[in-house]
Structure 1
Amino acid sequence: MSKTTASSPALATPTDLGRTDRSQVADALNGVLADTFALYLKTKNFHWHMSGPHFRDYHLMLDEQAAQIIGTTDDIAERVRKIGATTLRSIGDIARHQSTADNDAEFVSPVAMLRELHADNLTMVEALRHAKEIADEAKDNGTSGLIDTWTDFAERRAWFLFEATRGEA
């Protein structure tokens, strides 16, 4: 993963966070942002390729989850900018920062899709908890508070995905 670089003077946003703290928070948030984009695309992929007897329920659930996921991206990126750092710029930049694995399989069973997304959302919760620790160490209350909401969203998605596969083979 590449480190966040200092903003050019034209992009420098004043902040009371120290340079090291700002860099560490921004690096954590940019990792979360990359994984958010990767999770969004995987969720939409599975939404588009859903099949089977629970098609409608799963298709709609994944569409709702994808909308929530993409809805957080602007807040994450803007938080990075608010603390005086720069954020992701391209698909290539996302790929360099993401830890969420892509799934390019020709076919994935519906239950396997939901279980994979369940695991990915739990991994997102872990990444968010780690980012919160970094924000708290930096005394970055704004970032820390936002992370609480994003964590709750990811936990709820994981819960729904888990319950949708309970008892499925």
Structure 2
Amino acid sequence: MANTDAVRKHADEIESNELRLSTEKSEQIVEALNTDLAATYVLYHQLKKHHWNVEGAEFRDLHLFLGDAAGRAEDAADELAERAQALGGAPVAGPTALADRAPVSMEGEDVYDIRTSLGNDLAIYGDIIESLRDHVDLATNLGDHATAQILREILVEVEEDAHHIEHYLEDDTLVER
């Protein structure tokens, strides 16, 4: 168990920052970033699960895509966490805190067919897309244009991965059923 005497900053504490954004504005943005961070980690873990368990005729392509998509989610999570820290906050961490904060849920431990798995991934992507759009607007309205830009860049990648999943879920295929 951790020694609480050594705590340097409590998880819900917002410190002043050198980015010249008020503590009140930073608090709102860090809250939004931590929500996106938690959702992104849920997505990351679900993508890795599907990467490990995918089978079938399109195994190789899906295995590679899911591994790459998980890598992009991990990179996005890192960007979100670092920005929260730069704004004087503490990035949400730990499995319990991430699960509590995430506005999305992982599908669970069972293994599903790839169409169901990708459909579940697409649902999480959709929720994250909506959240990122809302948080771009929030950051912009609070005058934090750098955070808005970071979120826009993440949004582009998230939308691109979601669009790829849409293609995988189409009915047209060369694989005989």
**If the length of structure 2 is used for normalisation, what is the TM-score?**
0.86
Partner of 2:59: 55
Alpha-carbon distance, 1:105 to partner: 4.3
CA offsets per residue over residues 36-59 of structure 1, 9 Å max, x none?
A: 111000000111111122111111
Write the letter of the residue equivalent to 1:6. E
Alpha-carbon distance, 1:89 to partner: 2.7
Residue 124 in structure 1 maps to residue 131 in structure 2: no
Alpha-carbon distance, 1:14 to partner: 3.0
Q: What RMSD, in angstroms, separates the aligned Cα atoms of the two structures?
A: 1.7
Name structure 1 gaps, 5 residues minimum: none
Specify whether residues 111 and 103 from structure 1 end up closer, same or farther in structure 2 by C-alpha distance, changes over 3 A only: same
Residue 66 in structure 1 maps to residue 70 in structure 2: yes
| The one of 128, 146, 152 aligned to 2:150 | 146
CA distance in structure 1 between the partners assigned to 2:41 and 2:109 by the alignment? 19
Q: Secondary structure at the match of 1:88?
A: coil
Partner of 1:5: 12
CA distance in structure 2 between the partners assigned to 1:108 and 1:54 by the alignment? 15
Specify whether residues 92 and 105 from structure 1 end up closer, same or farther in structure 2 by C-alpha distance, changes over 3 A only: closer
Residue 46 in structure 1 maps to residue 50 in structure 2: yes
CA distance in structure 2 between the partners assigned to 1:110 and 1:127 by the alignment? 26
Alpha-carbon distance, 1:5 to partner: 2.3
Tell me which stretches of 4 or more aligned residues in structure 1 moved more than 6 Å: none
Identity, in percent, stands at 23
Partner of 1:136: 140
Write the letter of the residue equivalent to 1:87. P
CA distance in structure 2 between the partners assigned to 1:124 and 1:91 by the alignment? 19
CA distance in structure 2 between the partners assigned to 1:60 and 1:113 by the alignment? 15
Q: Secondary structure at the match of 1:104?
A: coil
CA distance in structure 2 between the partners assigned to 1:65 and 1:15 by the alignment? 31
Q: Secondary structure at the match of 1:121?
A: helix
| The one of 21, 46, 49 aligned to 1:17 | 21
| The one of 29, 33, 52 aligned to 1:29 | 33
CA offsets per residue over residues 60-118 of structure 1, 9 Å max, x none?
A: 11011011111112211110111112211311111111112111242211111112111
CA distance in structure 1 between the partners assigned to 2:124 and 2:14 by the alignment? 31
CA distance in structure 1 between the partners assigned to 2:12 and 2:114 by the alignment? 41
Answer yes or no: is the 8 Å Cα contact 2:107–2:120 preserved in 1: no
CA distance in structure 1 between the partners assigned to 2:93 and 2:169 by the alignment? 36
After TM superposition, the structure 1 stretch with the greater mean CA deviation from structure 2, 87-96 or 64-73, is: 87-96
Partner of 1:112: 116
Write the letter of the residue equivalent to 1:158. A
